[in-house]
Structure 1
Amino acid sequence: MQIVPSNPQPFQPIPIFITEMASPDTIMSVSASTSTWISAASPALTNHSTAPSLGEKTTTIRFVDTKAFWDLIDSTDQELLAFHNVFPQDFIRLDQERQLRRRGIRFRRYDTRERILIVLIPGGPHEQLHLKLYREYTNHVDRMGLEDAWRDHGATRFFQQQGHPSGNGGEGDSGGSPRPQPNGRSWPTLVIEAGDSSSLEELRRGMRWWFSTSNHEVKIVLLAKLDRAGRRIILEKWVETTPPPRPGPTTRAASIRTPNCDQEITIDWTENTPVEIPTSYVVTRGDLRLEFSLLFPRPPENPREHDILITVPRLQVWASTVWETVVELQA
């Protein structure tokens, strides 16, 4: 079966909004130097991924009122929308109504200073990208006998200042942490964020936010990006590293932790092969390794505890599940 990328008609915005199309690099250009979650104010990256930026467009909208917000959410076919001019009181009202409506949207990121709210409207392929991958991880945790020592967070919202529901916050797609949390920690150690039409650069912005806003309690961020046109899934594993010490006095800059693309795995769907057969997918750069000492975090205490390997055959199964969902939607 051969996939034919869908080409939806351009979205026609409701007149009450002012809309524009912006590249992922300019979507949050307002006062970027003062924001804690915009790339200009984020730590530098080391060992940048070699994957292309895949800069799909993201719609930016000026927020006016809650009714127009929900009218747009109910009618759009976009995966990611960026609303600006959202004050904290607006954010609280939107969150309350989201719970009443039981809508499966995510407030991926909210910044009080910039008054920007990033809304994720996940579709089937998006959900398979993170849910199946996270399930592969938890299956390993269960086999190590640690099912009761791990807590799933799903899309739980985490705040820069816990207990401040109108403050800077973010929701991942999947994630979790050891239980009980050591030393008063409250953030997940593992976060997975997925993107279908969302750009890879947008996912990387989220990765930087998780590391910096959690005060480095988040230890591993996995980014799973579906490239429909390229018939490929890009999987990036990010951790933080500290530059090696240099001779002489220690400086503050030398101790700053920076995000590092520890692994980049690509999974390509071979042309003219069945979508549902795992061997239709070619995995480049091997197994995905997740370090036990970062996830729990403590050293293994017995032979059953070890680093987790999601092997090439399991990554192929994951890819086939994602692409099956894409094909079903296009049928």
Structure 2
Amino acid sequence: MLPLSPSTISSSSLDTKDAESAKTIGSPESLSPDEAARDCDSYLPFEIPGAVLLTAPSISVLRQAANDVCNRINSDTSYSNQFIIVSNISQPLQEQLGGDRNPLEVPYRLTLDAQRQQVVIRIMPSGAHERLTQSFTGELIEKLLDMGIRPRAYTLNAATRYQGRTCAKEADQSLTPSRDTFSDNEWPSLVIETGLSESEAQLRADVYWWFSNSDYQVNVVILFHIQRSPERRVTIKLYSLRPTTPRITRGLNAEAQRTLLSNPPLPQADSSIVLRHSEVHEIIITSRDVQNAPLELEFESVMRRHPAPNTREKNITFTAEDLAVCCSHVFLES
């Protein structure tokens, strides 16, 4: 294994003793909600606790760091960091990371700010993460087929990169309803993100990014949080943002930020934006049971149209049994 270069600052070396001299980013309490909201807006999230920091790395150094993070996550359930933050990234390395091939040799998702030469890499820890996303997506396809909706009526975008105001971002999976005319800039209606439960704060910030940068074309974001200790479980959180006015003002935008960043969410009774936040109706799956099912997706939010009359089209419902099957890979993995 190649040693890290002097230009590299890392919080995830293989030896625990190195952690004392490693530089980490802040603590979960280091940002106020207002500061976090500004971070979301500018986007790149350089306040991720425990993230690995790299400065102007070579591809070999970055690959080593990615494999280090992946190996530690898969060998130590107490290790929870998924993120590598890279500053001063070279143009050739940006192109390698954003290309069709995988230069890091482990699964990852990319957030890239080319102008500032900054990158956030989220390492996908194990096959269970990928299989959970794929299993849920497959169940969604089956339910749409049962309604008579064929795959030609939508596209599944997997890790397609979407360009926001200041940076580009990939989801684990997303769905875009088909239209008569297609634009390269078309945003999905539904986004799925899967991560360790310890990454929840960052995934919550990602939720706002999808809503805001798409100008609220993204209607639904589903977060799957995998907790590995002391007991394995999956927590599902559903975010659904539905504007009831045709124009999103700066004030409403700020209100949506505060709602996503507060815990519990702020009251929305008099708001012109209705933000349904599934922390109010949290779904928890363990190897023994499923609490607070079902998970229901509004048909109109997903397909961007009303259900057709006299058809089987309706809201998309995932029962407790459906969710247990989708999450079974998490509990089977050693």
TM over 0.5: yes
Asked if 1:18 corresponds to 2:20, the answer is no
The C-alpha deviation readout for 1:169-220, integer Å capped at 9, x for no partner, is 1111011111126785611111100002651111111111111111211110
Residue 303 of structure 2 is matched in structure 1 by 296
Segment of structure 1 superposing worse, 127-136 or 253-262 = 253-262
How much identity, in percent, do the aligned residues show? 22
SS in 1 for 2:155: strand
Could you list the runs of 5+ residues in structure 2 that have no partner in the other structure? 11-22, 74-80, 261-274
Change (3 A) 1:267 1:107: closer
- TM-score, normalized by length of structure 1? 0.72
Residue 151 of structure 1 is matched in structure 2 by 155
Residue 106 of structure 1 is matched in structure 2 by 108
**TM-superposed deviation, 1:153:** 0.6
**TM-superposed deviation, 1:253:** 2.2
The C-alpha deviation readout for 1:207-246, integer Å capped at 9, x for no partner, is 11111111211110000001112432110001224589xx
Q: Does the CA-based 8 Å contact 1:57-1:199 persist in structure 2? A: no
Instruction: Give the root-mean-square deviation of aligned CA atoms.
Output: 3.6
Matches within 5 A, 1:1-331: 14-16=4-6, 17-19=8-10, 20-22=23-25, 23=27, 36-37=42-43, 57-76=50-69, 77=71, 78=73, 80-87=82-89, 89-95=91-97, 99=101, 101=103, 103-112=105-114, 115-122=117-124, 123-147=126-150, 148-160=152-164, 168-180=167-179, 184=183, 186-196=186-196, 199-229=199-229, 230-242=231-243, 253-254=251-252, 258=256, 260-264=275-279, 265-269=282-286, 275=287, 280-281=288-289, 283-302=290-309, 303-325=311-333, 327=334
Work out the CA distance in 2 between the residues paired with 1:197 and 1:115. 29
The C-alpha deviation readout for 1:293-323, integer Å capped at 9, x for no partner, is 1111010113211110001111122232321
Work out the CA distance in 2 between the residues paired with 1:232 and 1:255. 33
Q: Does the CA-based 8 Å contact 1:240-1:257 persist in structure 2? A: no
Higher-RCO chain (CA-CA 8 Å, sequence separation at least 6)? 1
Work out the CA distance in 1 between the residues paired with 2:252 and 2:153. 35
Work out the CA distance in 2 between the residues paired with 1:268 and 1:107. 25
SS in 1 for 2:332: helix
Change (3 A) 1:30 1:132: closer
Work out the CA distance in 2 between the residues paired with 1:34 and 1:312. 33
Residue 76 of structure 2 is matched in structure 1 by none
Work out the CA distance in 2 between the residues paired with 1:255 and 1:169. 20
Letter of the 1:61 counterpart: L
Work out the CA distance in 2 between the residues paired with 1:115 and 1:134. 33
Letter of the 2:9 counterpart: I
Q: Does the CA-based 8 Å contact 1:61-1:83 persist in structure 2? A: yes
**TM-superposed deviation, 1:252:** 5.4
Q: Does the CA-based 8 Å contact 2:307-2:313 persist in structure 1? A: yes
Could you list the runs of 5+ residues in structure 1 that have no partner in the other structure? 1-11, 41-54, 162-166, 245-249, 270-274
- TM-score, normalized by length of structure 2? 0.71
Work out the CA distance in 2 between the residues paired with 1:31 and 1:87. 25
Change (3 A) 1:289 1:93: same
Letter of the 1:236 counterpart: K
**TM-superposed deviation, 1:261:** 4.5
Q: Does the CA-based 8 Å contact 1:153-1:175 persist in structure 2? A: yes
Work out the CA distance in 2 between the residues paired with 1:125 and 1:90. 32
The C-alpha deviation readout for 1:31-53, integer Å capped at 9, x for no partner, is 9669522579xxxxxxxxxxxxx
Q: How many residues align?
A: 281
**TM-superposed deviation, 1:146:** 1.2
Work out the CA distance in 1 between the residues paired with 2:182 and 2:98. 32
Q: Does the CA-based 8 Å contact 1:190-1:220 persist in structure 2? A: yes
Q: Does the CA-based 8 Å contact 1:242-1:254 persist in structure 2? A: no
Superposed structure 1 runs of 4+ greater than 4 Å apart: 24-27, 29-35, 181-185, 241-244, 254-257
Change (3 A) 1:322 1:66: same
The C-alpha deviation readout for 1:113-156, integer Å capped at 9, x for no partner, is 55431212221121123221222211111111212212111111
